[in-house]
Structure formats: C-alpha cells, structure tokens
Structure 1
C-alpha cells in the first residue's frame, strides 16, 4: 500500500512540485512580497503581529495565492519594516499549523516568529584563498566568557572584535591571540539560531549549539540585545568583519543533518513529512538526535544550498564545516561545492545508520566525487594520541608502539606506504584515501571528547608537568607537519583542560570557558606551533596537488618502535615519542627544529651521520643541496 511518505519521496511528487522560483520575504519600503513553498497545504495565510513580544496575540491576517509547483505568494503594498510575521497553513485533513518562515533571516527573541527587515549591506568578501590553509576552532561563548579574558563583551559576537585585550598578568588575549596563532582560518562553532539557550536569559543556559532552530538567523544569545532582531545581525557581521581585518578567514559550523525539534521546526510545519527520512513509519535516527534531514529531497537540497549561499553572500563567510556530513547525500554536497567554488569546505564524513545508501553518503569512500570538500582524518588522531573513545588507550606520543608505518601513512594524508624501497612508481596516486592530499583535515582533538591535555592525563597519569607538555608539543607538531589541512581547537596549544569532561556540550562556562591565564602560561608552545605553521605554508614539501606529486616528494622512512624519521623533498623530519633521546642517521644539512627551538634560517649545521633526537621531541633538518 502506498503511504503518504512514499508519495512525498516519489519521483512523481518531485516532477510535479519542484520549484525554482523565489522563496522568503522580499522587502521594499513600498511593498513586501511573501513567497512560501507548501505544496500539500490547501490554504496559507500570513499573520502580521502588532509587536515583537513572543506572547503577543494581536495580529492581522492575509491569504496567500497558490502559484506554480506548490508555491504561494502575496504582495502587501505598505512599509512592513520590523513587522513580525508567521505563516498559518491548513491541510486537507483539517490540520492547521502556525510557523516561522523557513527562509526567515531575522526573528524575535527565541526565534518563534520572523521579522521583516531591509536586507543588510553584505560583508565585503575577501579575495579567493589559494594558499595552504590551517584552521583554529573557536566557540564564540567560550572565547571570552572567562574572567581572565580581558574582554568586555564576554560570551558575545563583539568579544571577537576587541583588540588590545590582556589577561590580568599582561599576556595578550582574544583577537590579538588569534592573529598570532599562525592559522589562516577561524572555524566558529554554531552561530545560527539554535534552540537550547534561552535568549531572554543567555547567561543562565549553556550549549554548544548543535540544535538548529532557524537556519538563516544568527543566534540571539551572543548579541548584546537579543530581543532586537537587528542587533544580532549587525553584531555577527561586525565579528566577521573584524576577523577579516585581522587577516583571518571565517568558517561557519553548520548543522543541516537534523533539527532540534522536528515537531515544531519550520520545515516540518510547512510541508509535513517531506523534509525528514523515515524508517518503518517513524523518523529515522542515524544522527542520534531523533531525526535525519532528508537532504536528498530536491527541495531540501535547494534549501541547504540557498542557506549556505545566503551566509556566504550576506555575512562574508569564507567556508563551511558540515556537522555529521555522512548523513548528507553526495549530490547535495556536490551542489554546495558548485555554489561556493572559492570557499573552504569540510565535514565529518562518518558513515551513518540512516536510510541513505552508503554510496550516497558523503564519506571518504566517496571522496573522488567531492574533491573540493575535506574530511576529518580520525586515523591520524587516534594513532597520535590513542583511541578517541577509550580514555586510557595510548597512542604514539603516549607510549604505544607497533603502528609506526600506519602513522606514516596518516601523516601523508592517507597515502599508502610500506617498507622500503620507495619510488614514485611504487606508490600509485590511486592509493590515497582521498582524492588528493588536501582533502585530509589533520587533527588530534576538537571541541568534543577529551581535550588533548585531558587525554594525556588519562593515558599517562604519572607524568610530571614537563613530560605532559612535551607529549602535547610532539602531538601538535605532528599535526602541524602532516600533509593536508592542520586543525586545532583554541586552547590546545595552551594545554586546555575541561577537567576530564569528555562531552561538555552543556556543562557550563566553568568547564568550557577558555582559561586565558593558562594559555598565557604556555605561550611559548603556542608561539612554536604558530611559527611552524607560517613556515610550513611556504615550503614546497607541502604543496603537492596529487598523490603522485606527494609520492615524488616522499623518500622513505626510518622506523623504530616509538620513532619515525622521514625524508620529504629536501627535509628530514623525525618524531621521537620515547622518554629518552634516540640516535639515528641523518643527512648533512641545517637543523631548523630541535625540541623546543625553531629557526627557519637554521639553528645549527649537521655534518651527516648520527643525530641525537631529544626525548618526546621533533626535529626538522634541511638537507644540504
């Protein structure tokens, strides 16, 4: 028997109702036109409310006219600037819903109703980025909420605009710290409108924000005046403008794989049953959130593409990180990439238990179909520090041995390697995990799970402070010197701790706030990683455009338990994870990095032969030509 879901997901429904016309509100002082796609509705009205209070009941109501392919339109010839509105829809079964516009770009506090505003002047875009990217992940709230941040707008968009801020001990903090971090891009954790912080009391609740409510509205809890619909827009734009002025590009963390509440979210209330996958008559739950957005539906795909285009155009966003990207279909991600050809795109490419065939899920197995989209490389993460989900499981930097060759492959962005001899002919370019090396997002920790420091405490609880810092430094240098795109969460180079909290998504500021005093105490580590990143970006050894090019640079590795020394182009790069110095043969050349000391012009010369690698350290040597 054919069900309603069968019909909504059928090719016939798509042919009859796919719509390519305007959607959302088009405002002009003389007239405002409303466009809504609601093919299963039998009547649609727009309600205009008398003020912006969520509890206001007074409204006037106007009917929309049905148009082509399930669309509805209405033009009202008056100035509706700052007017609050919703849609009311009636369906054939008599059900009636009221909802915010799915295409709303402004909203009242807590996002239950839309607001008509003149289109903001767009943030001036930066020119296309053609260098070697490196990324630092930042939570807007965590960034400035600590009392030691020295930032006036704590937990707010404007906190990322302040310059000259310092900790109580005089160390630089905030935006100045980001400018000196050596990265090219800042990845901002969710700042679309999410449902799990009450915007009327933004300091009371805490949440990372992976709970979408309104996809095209900035989150109000980060604004100085959450109840004013314009303020959050202006301040989010000011934040991005300030980051651009600091020489940093902005990646927006987006969550198009699910919504917070599918019973109350605008997409579900506008076209019930269309936007969410089902399994055996119930909402599917491959994402583990209670629902999976059906990105493969043509109008869901259009919605996602329209949304990222809007953020890129209006806010000047320079890239997007897609949460649980494996739940999004390849065709949709190809459409996103085509719409944003000069932006940095990346995502979590994990296979998901959702009713979408594996060949359609955007995972590394489909990397060649989406060559401009990066994937987080969990292999490098786990081999460096140990299993991400077993706190005490050790990795290379914490004493595990036997996986050195696998780690070499991950350092080379998933390129297949093995014992010598090596030659470009012996390593086929088809043997990389990705379409090309730059698809690998190389990392050892992110906002979720244990911080790197807390993982080191779990694996090696008896370490003293100096040993623990040395392990962290080695792990971070391995990321910085890997092929692909290095990625660091803010605080990793300052040995950030969350007290062992492995899932702090709602643990509050006392756990999540960046401790700027702590970062200041470890500023030498941050400066080392920053200088290495800046140097790395200009070196030919990190410019390979394909696996055959990388294979031509790679000249083999000397492997011992806990030790890796590889030759890459003109460089000899060694990692010693043992607690004692190790002596290896090294070519004649100039030492650039030795333990904590780094000098691009050279620290010392080496005549060739035995070289002592300090314990828990990395060494870079440029071979004599």
Structure 2
C-alpha cells in the first residue's frame, strides 16, 4: 500500500514516520518509483508517482514500511513529446549513496540507495584555521596509500588515509584537499594500455555519477552505509588532529557525456535544464568531456547548491575546490556572464557560510579568469600565474625575476582590494609534472595513457638541469635536488595560501607522465619508500613549514608595500640586489632579493623580519645583506646549496650570521631571519 504525497517535498529519498518519501523533479509528464533488491538489483515493484501541483515538475510518493539499507531504488519517466516508451531505470540525482558499484575496477551496475544517516559526530569541531595560516596538501584518496610501501592495514581507502594522519601532523600541513570523492565510474575510459591492451581507468575521478554519494570503492567497508560512515570517520579524525578537509568538486560536467554516453539520469529527466545545448540541439562541449552543465539554469542552480550544502552539513567538510570553475560562470548560451547567479548564491548561502571556496578559474573552452573570477568576496583562486612565474624563475627564464617579485607578495596586480589569501599559490599539483619530474623532463612521456603521447600540456616551463630523464651524473642529481628545495622555500615564504601535492616532499616521480589521470599503478601512487630515499628533502620541507608557522611576516593577510609606515623601522617589503637597495629588474636578471618586515605582528611583541634571496643564474653571486631591524641580527634559516643537514635549521634555533656578506651559489636560495641580539649565541 502506498500513500501519495501531495505537497512539495525535498528531492531525493527521506525517512518519514512509518516509511520513506521519494521526490523527483523532472520535465517528463509521468514518473515511476522502481524498488529493487539490494543484492542483485532485481526489480521488486514499480509505483506510479504523483505530480505535485504547482511544484515545478516535482513527483512524489511515500512508501510505508521501508527501512534504509534494505532496498535500492531508481526512477522511470515517460518520454518527453516526440519520445517513445518509458526510460530505463534512472539514478536519483539526490541519492545519498550508490549501490552496485562493487570493488575498485569492477564494472558498476549503479542503483540509488538510502543509507542510515545516523553518525555520532561527538564533539567534532571544524579547526577554523585562519586563512593566512593555511597550508593545503592535495591528495588522491586511493593513490595516497595504495602502494605496498604505505604500511597501512587498509590501503587505498578512506580508512587507509586515516591511518596516515600522524604523518600529516608530523609533516606540518593543516588542510587536505581530496581529489574527487563523489561517486564516479573508474571503468569509464575508452583508452587502453598500449603495452598490455588492458582498459585504462579514469583514475582521478573527474566524471561524476553521484553528486551527493561518496565513492564506495574508496571504502574498506562497502556494506550499506559503510562508505559514508568511513568518510565521516576520516573527516572527524582529521578535525580532531587540527586538519581541515576540502573537497575537489566537479560541477561543470557529468559522466553522461554527450548523447553517445550512458543514460544515467539528467538527460532523461530534463536535458535542456541540466545541459548546455546549441541552437541545433547538440551538446556544447566546453569541458572536453562531451557535455557542459547548464549551471545557471534555475533548476540546475538549485541542484548544485543542494550538492554543496549536503557535503557541508552531512560530511562537515570545510570547503571546496571547484574544478573548471569558469563553467559555473557561463550562461545558458555558453557565454561568460558578468554576474553569474550561481556564484552569487554560493557566496551568500548561509549554509555555506564559513566554508572555503577555491576556484580553478579556467575551463577547457579557453576561459582564463585568474584574477577576474566573480569572487563576491568569498572565492579564492588557484593562482596559475604564480605557478608559471615560479617555474620560469627556477628555470632562469628572461623576465622571471620581476614577474615573481609580484607573485611573492601575494599577486596584488590580480587581487587588489582583496586579501593576499585570495591567492592559492602552487608550483605543482595533480595536473602536470610532479616537482621531481619538473627538474628532470622537458618532454612529456605520456605513452602509457594510450593517446599516442599527445595528451597533457606540451610545455610546462620545466628544466631538466642539463639531461633529459634519470641520470647517474651526481652534479645533475644534486642540482635537481637543490631545485626542489628552491621551489619549496619560495612557495613557503610567499604571501598567500601555499598548496602542494602529496609526495612532492618525498621526491615522487611519475617518470615524465604529466597527465596521469589513467594511471592506477605505481606511476599514480605515492611510493612511501621515498621517505627514506629523500629524507633530506622531507626534513627541509618540515622545517620550512615550521618556519612559516613561526614567522608572522610570512602569513600576512595584506599585500606588503615598499613604503615606510609611520613608526616602522623598515617598510613591509624592500627589494635588493647584490647591494642593499639595488634590485635588478632587467629582462636578463637572475637575482631576486627581498626583505619582508612586519613591525609588530603581535601587540607589544617583537618584529618579524625575513630576508629572501634566490639566484637562478648559472654562476655564484656575492651579496651584501641589508641591515636588520635595530636591536636584531641576522640568523641563517636556509641555504639550499648547503651540505645535507645544514640546508635548513630548526625554527628558533638558526645560527647567527657572522657577516653581512654571503655567497649565493648558482641555482640556489637563501633565507635569513632577524632575531633579537640578546638571543644571539
């Protein structure tokens, strides 16, 4: 027996007194609920749903006696005018879990599921880290612990990642950004391994199937409700360790592809509302995936907002990184909007208040909104200009010194009138070369992706240090190691929010593959043996992170300027060269030196002052360092060309500098910190 709901209800499946209420929004005239057996998906019964009058195409039905976890479900809809026959069984866009996925790599037979949503969050509290203190660590849930060297009991899972929380704390990061964890079909990849002929996976997961459902194959416990519980346990444990959780969300396209792709839900429910279509009815492919979500259509806008609210409330995540966020700024005709309503609503939404919002301000159709993304005072951005400037400086390219100087102080040219933390700075991320490969390859080596080696970015401003690929030449290997230290020192002394991908601190390599989206293999996994092989680099990164935490001048919200404020002993930033006050901004310059100063970061406290110099040239440079603030002397924090063990010192235990004169080796960087004279040894 069923009782039809006649009033508007929230979409999806929801427990109500005595049963479960189902609600589906569709432009189709008729809809049916399909109840299925969880074990094999066999159809148990189909129930016609009632169209709620005046509710924008909402169809509802309440089924008494249903208990979460004991059934799967889907929907059928009648065809729109011109169609024939009812649709196949469709997924609920609002499904909180998808069943039928099986273990990783098994072809899924997806069905919607309603898990038992109960979870004891206990005294969970968001860490609430100030934006200026944030350090983002980007990782792939499976790849982080899948390698046999990870030493965890449940590799490749949320639980396995939870076992590595002590490592995250020891390293010193305080925020993890997870590559997509919304349900996706990893078997949805048309390419094969050219060496074996085996199908390649869609390993990264940028092809969302279930926008509100956690990826079940990332769970050690795949019983009904298990994936959601395990992900919540991970978030809760990270919070308890003082670590925030950001989700990389893919809202601009779906796993349905174009009309040649699988019919999962949106295409049958209301194709013109959910997808951008051209005048001829063909799909606009602005994402290079076959389809583009019609993000600013009222129906789709409401759905995407509900997705974000779900992750924020049900999973208590601390924020989102929006993949190809410029798609969310496009109108129903595909053109970029000056005032996209979706972005305004996300920024103003009370449920999302306090959540971090980070935009990848580009898309595959040529939009490049870095510095101009419609931010509403809420969105930060992945700063690709920082990435490019840092890489060019490390490689000693013309014009790179002046360009990076602007990036060092938080990119005020891009984020004027906004805090420096609007800039999420990075040198590498999951896209492109790892940091080790950035210093080893100038030519991508993507043949294993099955696309003839043509995929991925052709030129990443990389420099192989004089030899393409691995080498036994000790001088080149030492130079590559120094370049990695240079990159980390620059990143962690720059104004803005630093981000780096898991494994860069361990010398992780993808052997030149700069588009490892299909590499569920040692190429795409983190090899934890790197901790022993690259212990010096790991120690260097830990000490740089501790130094950043210790020095407020490196964590300023505002963009420092080179004018002297009243009552200050030094300006917030001053620029230098081989001699104090004589910077070289010429096109061929290879020396950048900056003195960063904050007079009183804490009321009544001492100043925080750091001197940074980087030499991207092929020969050494002799420096005379400017005077530190009165009552202080310079101490050496880092010299990336120093012997192992002396490349970076513990914060607060830096040795004093005996002289203002320093020799800066080729392709090296130096960081000094001013300490009160009374603390000098």
- What is the TM-score of this pair, normalised by structure 2? 0.77
8 Å contact kept, 2:180–2:204: yes
Residue of structure 1 in register with 2:500 after alignment: 488
Residue of structure 2 in register with 1:72 after alignment: 59
Map 1:33-48 → 2, pairs under 5 A: 33-38=21-26, 40-48=27-35
8 Å contact kept, 1:99–1:112: no
8 Å contact kept, 2:20–2:62: yes
**Is 1:142 the equivalent of 2:143?**
yes
Which structure shows the higher helix fraction? 1
**Is 1:572 the equivalent of 2:567?**
no
Summarize the Cα distance change of 1:342–1:323 in structure 2 as closer, same or farther, 3 Å threshold. Answer: same
The separation in 2 between residues aligned to 1:592 and 1:59, in whole angstroms, is: 74
Root-mean-square deviation (CA, aligned residues, Å) is 2.7
Residue of structure 1 in register with 2:430 after alignment: 447
Map 1:295-314 → 2, pairs under 5 A: 295-314=295-314
Give structure 2 stretches of 5+ with no counterpart.
1-6, 102-108, 189-198, 330-339, 442-462, 468-474, 564-570, 578-582, 598-608, 628-632, 640-646, 677-681
Residue of structure 1 in register with 2:519 after alignment: 507
Deviation at 1:590, TM superposition (A): 2.0
> 1:117 pairs with 93, 115, 118, which one?
115
Map 1:81-120 → 2, pairs under 5 A: 81-82=68-69, 83-93=71-81, 94-95=83-84, 96-97=86-87, 98-110=89-101, 112-120=110-118
Summarize the Cα distance change of 1:346–1:479 in structure 2 as closer, same or farther, 3 Å threshold. Answer: same
SS in structure 1 at match of 2:245? strand
Larger mean Cα displacement after TM superposition, 475-484 or 583-592: 583-592
Map 1:216-615 → 2, pairs under 5 A: 216-226=212-222, 228-262=223-257, 263=259, 264-281=263-280, 282-329=282-329, 330-339=340-349, 340-350=352-362, 353=365, 363-366=370-373, 369-385=375-391, 395-416=392-413, 432=415, 435-458=418-441, 459=463, 460-462=465-467, 464-547=476-559, 553-558=572-577, 559-560=583-584, 561-569=589-597, 570-588=609-627, 589-595=633-639, 596-606=647-657, 609-615=660-666
Deviation at 1:473, TM superposition (A): 0.6
The separation in 2 between residues aligned to 1:255 and 1:115, in whole angstroms, is: 21
Q: Deviations over 1:267-295 (max 9, x none)?
A: 22221221111233211111111111111
The separation in 1 between residues aligned to 2:265 and 2:212, in whole angstroms, is: 12
Deviation at 1:433, TM superposition (A): 5.6
Deviation at 1:439, TM superposition (A): 0.9
8 Å contact kept, 1:504–1:512: yes
Q: Deviations over 1:468-522 (max 9, x none)?
A: 1001110111111111110000011111100111111112212111111113321
Summarize the Cα distance change of 1:526–1:549 in structure 2 as closer, same or farther, 3 Å threshold. Answer: same
**Is 1:211 the equivalent of 2:255?**
no
The separation in 2 between residues aligned to 1:77 and 1:36, in whole angstroms, is: 18
Give structure 1 stretches of 5+ with no counterpart.
1-18, 163-173, 386-394, 417-430
SS in structure 2 at match of 1:296? coil
The separation in 2 between residues aligned to 1:297 and 1:447, in whole angstroms, is: 31
Residue of structure 2 in register with 1:16 after alignment: none
The number of residue pairs the alignment matches comes to 561
Q: Deviations over 1:515-553 (max 9, x none)?
A: 111133213322322232233235332343344779762
The separation in 1 between residues aligned to 2:166 and 2:200, in whole angstroms, is: 28
The separation in 2 between residues aligned to 1:434 and 1:222, in whole angstroms, is: 41
The separation in 2 between residues aligned to 1:605 and 1:50, in whole angstroms, is: 72
> 1:175 pairs with 165, 178, 192, which one?
165
The separation in 1 between residues aligned to 2:176 and 2:357, in whole angstroms, is: 13
The separation in 2 between residues aligned to 1:20 and 1:257, in whole angstroms, is: 28
Deviation at 1:193, TM superposition (A): 0.2
Deviation at 1:21, TM superposition (A): 5.4
Q: Deviations over 1:17-48 (max 9, x none)?
A: xx99522111146121112222x221111111
Deviation at 1:109, TM superposition (A): 1.8
Deviation at 1:197, TM superposition (A): 3.7
Larger mean Cα displacement after TM superposition, 517-526 or 135-144: 517-526
8 Å contact kept, 2:324–2:359: yes
Q: Which has the higher contact order (CA 8 A, sep 6+)?
A: 1
Deviation at 1:363, TM superposition (A): 4.8
Larger mean Cα displacement after TM superposition, 496-505 or 553-562: 553-562
Residue of structure 2 in register with 1:3 after alignment: none
- What is the TM-score of this pair, normalised by structure 1? 0.84
SS in structure 2 at match of 1:509? coil
SS in structure 2 at match of 1:505? helix
SS in structure 2 at match of 1:516? coil
> 2:669 pairs with 598, 615, 618, which one?
618
The separation in 2 between residues aligned to 1:600 and 1:543, in whole angstroms, is: 15
The separation in 2 between residues aligned to 1:125 and 1:306, in whole angstroms, is: 22
Larger mean Cα displacement after TM superposition, 480-489 or 216-225: 216-225
Summarize the Cα distance change of 1:345–1:432 in structure 2 as closer, same or farther, 3 Å threshold. Answer: closer
